[in-house]
Amino acid sequence: MPRGLIVRHGGVGVLLGWVLGVALQLQQPTLWTLPTYAALGLAGGLSVCALGWVRRTAPSLLLALAAGALIGVGLTGARAVHFAADALDPALQGLDIEVTGRIASLPQRASQGVRFDFVVESAARQGQAVALPPRLQLGWYLQPEEEGGAGLELRAGDRWRFTVRLRSPHGNANPHGFDRERWLWEQGIQATGAMRTSPRDPPPQRIGATPWHPLDRLRQSVADRIEARVHEDPRSAGVLAALVVGDQSAIDRSDWDLFRTTGVAHLMSISGLHVTLFAWLATALVGALWRRLALRWPAALLALPAPWAAGLGGVALATAYALFSGWGVPAQRTVLMLAVAVGLRLSVRRWPWPAVWLLAMAVVLLLDPWALMQAGFWLSFVAVGILFAADPGRRSPSPEAPWRPRASRALLALLREQGVVTVALAPLTLLLFGQFSVVGLVANLAAIPWVTLLVTPLALLGVFVPPLWDMAAWAVQALSSALQWLAGWPGAALFRPVAPWPLALAAVVGGVLLVLRLPWVVRLSGLMLLWPALLYQPARPAPGQFELIALDVGQGSAVLLRTASHSLLYDTGPRYGSQPDAADAGDRVILPLLRALGERLDAVVVSHRDSDHSGGAASVQAAQPQARWLSSYDAGAARRCVAGQRWRWDGVDFEVLHPQPDDYDETGVGRLSSNAMSCVLRVFNGADSAWLGGDLDAAQEVRLALARPEERATVMLAPHHGSQTSSSPVLLNTLRPALVVVQSGYRNRFNHPAPVVLERYAQRGIRWVNSPECGAATWRSAEPHRVACQREVDRRYWHHLGR
């Protein structure tokens, strides 16, 4: 085979191998040593050099794949080792440290305060210098204007001095949950913390502005101007801020729910479509200005022809826009593909679309290997690849053609492209999010031109002509009204359990086959690949058995109990903040898991009214209205948990042990303290049992133990998160659990679980697991001596050990 063809195939093989190598390295549970990664990278480089000596196609491709994979594993691993070397010293966790540095991102307002990235310049503990990671994520949980009434304001690029308490990056670890630790790793964050603002601490001190982070400062200035201009409609202002400066945190949570339900969430951030449109306009503008300049200065065209000036200028301005808007993965992908396309066009060359697509993917992963774990990465690249593959020979209509045929062809092309993307991405969307927008095709047909051709241009032009932001806000309001109408349709969104990756991969291939220009027999075969994933149901316990999943919700409690055909939720986790719009564990943790498992709750038991147990109740009740509710604080008699209540599901008995009927007064209000009123639930199948006691105190534990001395438990949920006021010796001696599951927050301020309680467990030979180290704990009565910790099941090297 000709040498040039082998080299070309070898280049594609190296790129593909690089992507595969990055993917393999990201599956590592622990990191290897730096010399190991260096050796792998060197071996890959030598293999690339050896490609020129291989004359046959197949060996050349295999060698290229291996070379790319070795380089991908070696380079990504070396970067990870270098980054991990700057981790926070565990001995510094929880100590007061004075740090001086710069605000390095847009401060993001949340229900609990303000969060921002902080670049450390110096740090000291009691006057002694200490070494900290170079980049922190800090939270100011008092609004700046509350600090001594000084009206302090956080601005990107400003230098500040704070007293902070830090901890290693840590997030909740749940099946199908958001991996916050990976996200922090990708952002370069190696410690998180909060400002100390008590009267005995030095107040935060603004030292002054710096020339650093000018782009973030400009983005913040524009976001503030949008907020001030559209102050009467903060929800629309949030959408405009997301479209102009990429501040997606400005969008209200309820709006995100609406956009996901209607399938238009991709339009509410800087997408490839926005960058492409901007690049097209920029190219046309630069070309026109360059030609006009040539009328006065003809030498300009000789120095740089108009096509070159237009192409280079368009790519440069599109890059500036992508950087200004936050440089997300879709924007990166679009800029890189535009740059390659312009470069090929100017050099009068033509590459096959797979090579352009693969090159853009490889470069994105070179910049950020951990982007491969983002849902947006796959949605962006798969969508573009499908459009290329479904119509590789598309041509633009001739500008000399009449406008009506051109308009009709453009409309048909839009309909076809949207249909292709909707059908082909449906399996991938179900895999990534467990839901698919049924009304997404209709919603996008209206929303794409509305947002791309009206809202986004008005929002961008508003930077120079602020009254245009009022018009853009009106356009957002009109769009939201239409989307709310569509979201109200029956079955607007389809929720399915998340299938295992082999079935999901087959479904993605099936979706692609359906839209390619292939014989219909081949295309319809895609349905055969789709059905297994669509009909998939997660395995359930056998009749007579039950499963307990103690979720990792931080300092709070939420437990999912499943039998062969029923499910019960015990407690709904905490509320993350005191603001009315604060997020809660129900929305963030419980509901995503229920959807991923395809669960429809039959009952919910909320042990008591404390917010760390009932904080997610409203979210769960809104999403699961069919469930029967029991609690110790409900005014309705039918919704109160009372000792003696029993029911049987699939051969498994459920029994409420506490509180007693006399513990309620005539109006249904508990006579005991909130903790002492906790609903105690026993689950029993004849051989094994689970005992869940909420925040029950020692006095009530002793009363229950003495009343039922024959009671035993295989697994026990630690009462009151392992507090020293619970887990009394009398209860432990009576129940004699083989396993105790403690649900507590990482480095929580209550010091749960208490050392004295852990000592009681150790004295009795009781095994225990704690959610910060274990993550979600899964126990099954079919395997009563085994507990599965999510942090071990899905271990990756960026995950924190939880200590």
The amino acid present at 611, given as its one-letter code, is S
d(CA 361, CA 337): 9
Give the dihedral of Cα atoms 431, 432, 438, 440; nearest 10 deg: -140
- Burial degree of 358 (CB within 10 A; 0-12, 13-18, 19+): buried
> Side-chain half-sphere of 332: how many Cα atoms within 13 Å?
20
Give the pLDDT of residue 393.
54
Residue 552, Ramachandran bin (φ over 0: left; ψ between -120 and 50: alpha; else beta): beta
Q: Residue 392 CB: number of other CB atoms within 10 A?
A: 12
Give the pLDDT of residue 328.
77
Residue 557 phi, psi dihedral angles, 5° rounding: -140, 140
Residue 558: closest CA among 548, 568, 571, 546 = 571
Q: How many helices (H) and strands (E) does the chain have?
A: 28, 26
d(CA 10, CA 16): 10
Strands, E assignment, 529-615: 547-550, 559-562, 567-570, 575-576, 583-584, 603-606
Give the pLDDT of residue 308.
86
Write the pLDDT tens digit of every residue in 744-793: 999 999 999 999 999 999 999 999 999 999 999 999 999 999 999 999 99
d(CA 193, CA 209): 23
DSSP state of 747: T
Q: Residue 398 CB: number of other CB atoms within 10 A?
A: 8
Which residues of the chain have a pLDDT value below 50? 1-7, 143-151, 396-401
The amino acid present at 60, given as its one-letter code, is S
Tell me if 555 sits within 8 A of 744, measured CB to CB.
Answer: yes
Tell me if 508 sits within 8 A of 529, measured CB to CB.
Answer: no
* Residue 280, both tokens: 């097209």
Give the pLDDT of residue 8.
55
State the DSSP string of 300-352. Answer: HHHHS-HHHHHHHHHHHHHHHHHHHTT--HHHHHHHHHHHHHHHHHHTT----
d(CA 754, CA 260): 42
Q: Which residue has the tokens 């040498």?
A: 3
Task: Provide the 3-class DSSP secondary structure of residue 717.
Answer: strand
pTM of the full structure: 0.90
Write the pLDDT tens digit of every residue in 784-799: 999 999 999 999 999 9
d(CA 120, CA 174): 32
Give the pLDDT of residue 24.
97
